[in-house]
Chain A
């Protein structure tokens, strides 16, 4: 799996958009970008994933650059409950046989009132 780089922490005002960046310059053509988040003292939760097109669901939007070397997770209207560590992971689609899945340190997003 390609390595990812995320800022260790970010702040956002409540009600504003939170834009969390992730660099994955060594991503290969069949690797997907996944985002999870972990609220304090809980297990991580899947948010969204994408290959090359931008994606949106009820939780967030994912913007992937055309060269796929970076992406941004967007929480359009951040609330205090969005305060969490956000993990960006790049995973290849190797027929499901790549079972070893690792997480980095992620970005601690703090939403301020």
Chain B
């Protein structure tokens, strides 16, 4: 069963704590993405990775960090510098052909601050 797996489904962060959200894919896609979604809002791009060992900042990268050591994995760390981390986080991978492009999303992680 191929797809994007995000874990955990729910995560709680204490003040000053770093937390890491997991994202794994078995679709053999090169590009992967992290988005943040606040209630009633669209998706905002945090980071994206075109290929292993490479990643770029999106529109709201401050307070977040990522790594891409393996093709299958693109974990997101929410650092203590992110002062308003409560949000729904979505990971995606991308497939591209000459006349088609699709993003495949995971089911998301809801992060809340204790």
Contacts and interface: CB of A to CB of B under 8 A. Distances in A.
A44 B43 contact: yes
Given A51-B99, A96-B96, A43 B105 contact: yes
Contacts of A49: 100-101
Contacts, number: 61
A102 B45 contact: yes
A7 to B, nearest CB: 14
Contacts of A42: 105, 107-108
Tell me if B's interface is mostly helix, strand, loop or mixed. Answer: strand
A102 B94 contact: no
Given A100-B58, A101-B103, A41 B88 contact: yes
A32 B110 CA distance: 32
B88 A99 contact: no
Contacts of B76: none
A102 B100 CA distance: 16
Contacts of B104: 46
A42 B92 CA distance: 12
B88 to A, nearest CB: 7
A43 B108 contact: yes
A103 B101 contact: no
Interface in B65-114: 88, 90, 92, 94, 96, 98-108, 110
Interface string A9-47: 000000000000000000000001010100001111110
A93 B101 CA distance: 9
22 contacts: A32-B99, A41-B88, A42-B108, A43-B106, A43-B107, A43-B108, A45-B105, A46-B104, A49-B101, A51-B99, A87-B42, A91-B101, A93-B99, A96-B96, A96-B101, A99-B31, A99-B56, A100-B45, A102-B45, A103-B42, A104-B42, A105-B40
Interface of B: 4, 31, 33, 35, 40-45, 48, 50, 56, 58-59, 88, 90, 92, 94, 96, 98-108, 110
Interface of A: 32, 34, 36, 41-46, 49, 51, 87, 91, 93, 96, 99-106
